[in-house]
């Protein structure tokens, strides 16, 4: 058996993957707070990495993977909107949403690949997991579209 990053993450238990994800999100949030645009600029890297760690963990439940991925993406977006440094005007919110949408495409593709590779679950459950991920992220975007507007952090 070769030692590669994919094999290592394949064997990660869900708790370890979730712990690494939370650590990654906290580090990116702190980086965004103290180095104003960095947290936003790293979003297209951090968000797919977070989803990848959850999607290719040892857990075989696609619904749980979709829910955790959606919740972690929401947590990341909320932390950027509330604690990111700089002036939170409409243009800045547009940039935050742009980088989030750039990150969502590979994240969704990673989740789809991970869910479809697991042949032990029924196709209907896999379709529900994919739809649930899209619905959760969509609800988050509708509810928090103007979260943090008008704030000035570290200005």
89-147 tens-digit pLDDT: 888 888 899 999 999 999 999 999 999 988 788 999 999 999 999 999 999 999 988 88
Residue 87 lies in a domain: yes
- Output DSSP code: residue 85: S
**pLDDT per position as a tens digit, 48-101:** 999 999 999 888 899 999 999 999 999 999 999 888 877 778 888 888 999 999
Q: Label residue 48 exposed, middle or buried (CB < 10 Å: 0-12, 13-18, 19+).
A: buried
Residue 136 lies in a domain: yes
State the pTM of this model. Answer: 0.87
Residue 154 lies in a domain: no
The pair of three-digit structure tokens given for residue 51, joined into one six-digit string: 């989803």
Residue 130 lies in a domain: yes
Residue 61 lies in a domain: yes
CB 83 within 8 A of CB 147: no
Residue 19 lies in a domain: yes
Report d(CA 108, CA 130) in Å as an integer.
8
Domain that holds residue 80: 9-146
Report d(CA 25, CA 20) in Å as an integer.
9
Residue 36 phi, psi dihedral angles, 5° rounding: -35, -60
Number of domains in the chain: 1
Residue 155 lies in a domain: no
- Three-state DSSP class for 120? coil
Residue 59 lies in a domain: yes
């Amino acid at each position: 058996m070769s030692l590669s990053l994919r094999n290592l993450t394949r064997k990660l238990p869900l708790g370890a993957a979730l712990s690494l994800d939370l650590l990654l999100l906290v580090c990116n949030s702190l980086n965004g707070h103290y180095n104003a645009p960095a947290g936003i600029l790293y979003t297209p890297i951090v968000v797919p990495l977070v989803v990848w760690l959850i999607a290719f963990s040892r857990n075989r439940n696609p619904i749980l993977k979709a829910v955790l991925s959606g919740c972690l993406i929401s947590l990341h977006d909320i932390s950027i909107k509330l604690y990111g440094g700089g002036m939170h005007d409409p243009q800045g919110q547009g940039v935050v949403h742009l980088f989030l949408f750039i990150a969502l495409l590979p994240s969704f593709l990673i989740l789809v690949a991970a869910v479809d590779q697991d042949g032990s679950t029924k196709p209907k459950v896999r379709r529900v997991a994919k739809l649930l991920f899209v619905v959760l992220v969509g609800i988050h975007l509708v509810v928090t579209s103007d979260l943090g507007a008008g704030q000035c952090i570290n200005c």
